[in-house]
Amino acid sequence: MIKTTNIQDALRNLAGLVPTEIGAPYGGGFFAGTFLLNEQVFALIVAPKAEGETVAVWRSKGKGQSPASSLRDGLANSAAIANGHHPAAAFCRDLKIGGFTDWYLPSRHEAALLAETLMPGADFVPEQTSAEAFKEGGPEAFERADYWTSTELSPAVAWVQGFDVGGQDGTGKDWSRRCRAVRKVTI
């Protein structure tokens, strides 16, 4: 049984049109790989850079722990914090790209998958992507910078994914960092 938030995705999946090539256009963005969540296999789709990337703080107001603690489910995390106090998640959740409105800030695990398949590389880290548009200088390339995940580490810190050498670390929630929206499709 196919579970999806969009009938167009269901029709593409039934027709066998889910891409297998990393970086292929799909579902309003680009295919970034597959992952397992709650015994379901999903295709991860990264938003186009021009529409789906910005610089924002993780949290602008308030203190304390939020319910965004899942290491794997960015959609659940983003839904829990998509309000005026969490600009990065709200930016992603408010997007409408390619007719799709189910964009969100990726979890720690989903961000690691993006780095694994789409990281352009650095001076001493080999290029991780075969997708031309995501290579260094390409129109969809991730910057050599930290990108927010939707996963909280502590009341004051959330996880970031580095696209310089591929590491993850915690960063103060009130710091400005890049964020790039994703969506997922059950396959």
172-181 confidence digits (pLDDT tens): 999 999 999 9
| 13 within 8 A of 3, measured Cβ to Cβ | no
In a domain, 23, yes or no: no
Non-local (6+) Cβ contacts of 69 within 8 A are 77, 151, 152
Q: Is residue 141 part of a domain?
A: yes
Position 159 in a domain = yes
Residue 37 lies in a domain: no
Please report the pLDDT score of residue 156 as a whole number. 92
22 confidence band (pLDDT: 50, 70, 90): very high
User: Distance between CA 45 and CA 34 in Å, rounded?
Assistant: 9
In this predicted structure, the answer to whether residue 13 has a pLDDT above a threshold of 60 is no
pTM for the predicted model, two decimal places: 0.89
H-helix segments, the chain:
7-14, 49-52, 74-81, 87-93, 108-118
Average the pLDDT over 139-167 and give the result.
Answer: 95
pLDDT category, 14, cuts 50, 70, 90?
very low
Would 80 be classed as within a structural domain?
yes
Mean pLDDT of 30-48: 95
> What is the count of structural domains for the chain?
1
User: Residue 94 has which token pair?
Assistant: 């408010």
Domain with 167, as residue range(s), is: 48-181
Average pLDDT over residues 69-88: 92
Query: Would 41 be classed as within a structural domain?
Result: no
Asked if residue 121 is part of any domain, the answer here is yes
Mean pLDDT of 5-15: 53
**In whole angstroms, how large is the CA radius of gyration of the chain?**
15
pLDDT, mean over the chain: 89
Q: Evaluate whether residue 68 is within a structural domain.
A: yes
